[in-house]
Each structure stands twice: as C-alpha cells, then as structure tokens.
C-alpha cells in the first residue's frame, strides 16, 4: 500500500470514528440525504402528507416568516393539509441548485436563495435520522 493509499485509509477511519461519535456512521453521504429530505419535505407539504411532516419536524419545530410571524409544527402541518386540499394533485419541484448545504457534526443548515426570498432550514441528526428543528425566511436576497 502506497503512502497516498495509506493516508486515504487513515482519513476514512478517522472520518468514521468522528462520524460514529455523532451517530452519522450510517449516513454515507449526508449532503445527498439532506437534499433528498428537503425534496421530500416540499413534496409532503404540497401533497398534504401530514404523516411525513409529523415525523420530519421536531416537536419544538418553528418556522419564522419574513414578517417575523412564528409558526409551530402543528400550524405548519395544518397549512400543508389546507394547501393540498386547495391544490389537489400538486407536486413540488426539486430543491434548486442555488440552495447550499452546510454540515457541522450532527447539525445541517440549508440556505435557499430565491429571487425574492432567502430562507434557512436547520436540521439535527439523532437516533439514526435527520429532523428539522427551525426555519427562517427573509425577503432579503443574499449575494445579489
């Protein structure tokens, strides 16, 4: 085994050791998993999949709108049910490529930059899965 292969192997062991401490050892590509969760979250909201939303959103989940209005988990789930009833057959587009995912230990932050809004979703990893804890929306657009 060459030096570069040995270094790569040691880095992989180090990564798995550190990740295991955070409970992330089973997540091969956490960024791809978060991207998938974001897509499923959007789809669950527009289709009214309240069971998925209930599982994804932490009991303490809060979403703060661009006007400062805080909506707890129950209100978000009720909004999804209403939206689906008012827009039957709706589907959500996949997460845009302008969205950025930052993972630090067992926390992930997803920043969505749109033409008229920037938002951030905060996730944590525990008990073998990611859960959404907080979302913040603003009318500001970053980096424009």
pLDDT, tens digit, 9 for 90 and up, residues 34-74 = 999 999 999 999 999 999 999 999 999 999 999 999 999 99
Which has more confidence, 123 or 113? Answer: 123
What distance in Å separates the CA atoms of residue 14 and residue 110, rounded to the nearest whole number? Answer: 25
User: Which comes out higher in pLDDT, residue 131 or 116?
Assistant: 131
pLDDT confidence of residue 140: 78
Q: pTM to 2 decimals?
A: 0.77
Residues 17-44: what's their mean pLDDT? 75
The domains found in the chain, sorted by start residue, are 3-138 (3.10.450.50)
pLDDT at 8 over 90: no
**Would you call 82 exposed, middle or buried from its count of C-beta atoms within 10 A (0-12, 13-18, 19+)?**
exposed
pLDDT-derived band of residue 114, with 50, 70 and 90 as boundaries? confident
Q: What is the pLDDT of residues 121-134, one digit of tens each?
A: 999 999 999 999 99
CB 28 within 8 A of CB 15: no
Nearest to 48 by CA among 74, 95, 87: 87
């Amino acid at each position: 085994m060459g030096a570069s292969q040995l270094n790569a192997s040691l880095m992989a062991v180090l990564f798995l050791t550190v990740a295991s401490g955070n409970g992330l050892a089973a997540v091969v590509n956490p960024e791809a998993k978060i991207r998938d969760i974001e897509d499923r979250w959007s789809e669950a909201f527009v289709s009214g999949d309240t069971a998925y939303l209930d599982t994804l959103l932490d009991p303490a989940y809060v979403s703060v709108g661009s006007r400062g209005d805080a909506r707890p988990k129950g209100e978000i789930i009720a909004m999804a049910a209403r939206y689906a009833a008012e827009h039957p057959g709706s589907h959500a587009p996949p997460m845009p490529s302008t969205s950025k995912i930052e993972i630090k230990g067992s926390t992930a932050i997803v920043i969505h930059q749109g033409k008229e809004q920037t938002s951030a979703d905060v996730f944590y990893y525990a008990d073998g899965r990611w859960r959404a804890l907080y979302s913040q929306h603003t009318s500001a657009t970053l980096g424009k």
